[in-house]
Structure 1
């Protein structure tokens, strides 16, 4: 469990390489959690701690995005900020309305599958990028530009803000599809297969090591 937690937090750190990416993506995940937990209105009436935690974090993210969601960011999350954000997101994902961590896993409307699916783009991009770096025999702790979003920005000259919005919107669609359809193993597998195919299409022309 501790190892998975460390991997999860570092995933947010790895994906914090484009202005607006981390903030917009976290907003989508939090909105999806509120939707899956009974909609924000019901959470307000019940006074659940999940709502309060999410609401405070959403406000903080909006302030952060005011200076980060632009071509030339005024401020960035940095290693510490991205890791802490990853920790807060996974805590909220594992917390029910009463605020008791892991209690929600026993509820009928909760699925463990929603945890990886809620961040499916980050999981797919990080996972395949790590596999690729191992294949290229590169130290995984060194800086690089091999993530799909980095390929789009630095090698295909796409606007970083547009890429951040694209990731957020696509993840929102994935989450809504999974929640509205009732989820399930095959739905989760299908989502990751499609996203993996998209990752490989973006990275089909791998740059040489000297171009990284």
Structure 2
């Protein structure tokens, strides 16, 4: 069943996306405010700081309790064609909540991620060779875990979800094959992320937790895949929109693998973590990444109007920009380490 307002949204898609986003923002903010006010937030899941944490006080990890229910309910009621995405996101949230509370073996968590991605692609295959679908599935599994790795600095994950899914929503209406349902689904996630950000920006009173970060990463990959499969945007678009997240986490992963380290263990080697440790602070770090992501989004949406060759030139150019930013942070970090090691 769809909401009665959906026919109105068809005639005013931008108004519809805005209404859905604001509704999701209010719903998520209300749920999280109740959890904090009643004290339930601390009983559901709490992050206890350790030597590798970026914060110093126990903080509830209940962002998913606001974002996921709101996003799933809105998607099920306004975007019926995307019900599989909504249900799989809810199932991942349930598994991740168990992990937040009691802990699950890595193979169980990873198996759930692979299973959700594989099922979505199997039920909704794109007309491309099987090996391309396998490669896309691998990248989607990586994206599922990406938000979990990046949920470590105040305002970072929430802000990038707000901007990233908003970009999806806009592109779904401006792309070569406009899709109102896809736009509304993305607007719902973006709005819910905005409601979470009200409590997550520095100084954060809540974090996403696995029950929020895992479904959020899945939705970024699943909705990105859905948009490409339906012709709403090219295959490079989701990667460019979330490129700051993808670049930071991927480079860090490769470095740790080359050193023979277990990449799933907690650490403080991400670029955003280094920025905070350099004294830049959580708020300025988040705002800096917002600016970088916003620039990439502007490029991505603008490039939708270009030829295929020009689009890939833009993607390559943006990759160079991100590499240079990474080099700048690494250079400053090495200088900082050399100064702090001096007697």
The residue aligned with 1:84 is 215
Cα drift, residue 58 of structure 1: 2.4
Question: Please, which of 173, 186, 195 is the counterpart of residue 313 of structure 2?
Answer: 186
State which drifts further: 24-33 or 51-60.
51-60
Cα drift, residue 20 of structure 1: 0.8
Computing the radius of gyration from Cα coordinates, the structure with the larger value is 2
The residue aligned with 1:152 is 275
8 Å contact kept, 1:9–1:83: yes
Could you say which structure has the greater relative contact order, defined with CA pairs below 8 angstroms and 6 or more residues apart? 1
Map residues 42-57 of structure 1 onto 2, 5 A cutoff: 48-57=180-189
2:284 matched to 1:162?
yes
- The number of equivalent residue pairs is 193
For residues 189 and 10 of structure 1, the distance between their equivalents in structure 2, rounded to whole angstroms, comes to: 24
8 Å contact kept, 1:30–1:54: yes
Superposed CA deviations along residues 39-89 of structure 1, whole A, max 9, x for unmatched, are: 5xxx8xx8x221321232223212211111122x22110122111101112
Cα drift, residue 33 of structure 1: 1.5
2:257 matched to 1:140?
no
8 Å contact kept, 2:143–2:220: no
Aligned partner of residue 263 in structure 2, secondary structure: coil
The residue aligned with 2:33 is none
For residues 13 and 58 of structure 1, the distance between their equivalents in structure 2, rounded to whole angstroms, comes to: 17
For residues 187 and 239 of structure 2, the distance between their equivalents in structure 1, rounded to whole angstroms, comes to: 22
Q: TM-score of the superposition, structure 2-length normalised?
A: 0.52
Map residues 12-23 of structure 1 onto 2, 5 A cutoff: 12-23=147-158
Structure 1: runs of 5+ lacking an equivalent? none
Cα drift, residue 177 of structure 1: 1.7
8 Å contact kept, 1:32–1:172: no
User: Which of the pair is proportionally richer in helix?
Assistant: 2
For residues 171 and 28 of structure 1, the distance between their equivalents in structure 2, rounded to whole angstroms, comes to: 8
Aligned partner of residue 38 in structure 1, secondary structure: helix
The residue aligned with 1:175 is 297
The residue aligned with 1:31 is 166
8 Å contact kept, 1:94–1:102: yes
Cα RMSD between the aligned structures?
A: 2.3
For residues 152 and 112 of structure 1, the distance between their equivalents in structure 2, rounded to whole angstroms, comes to: 31
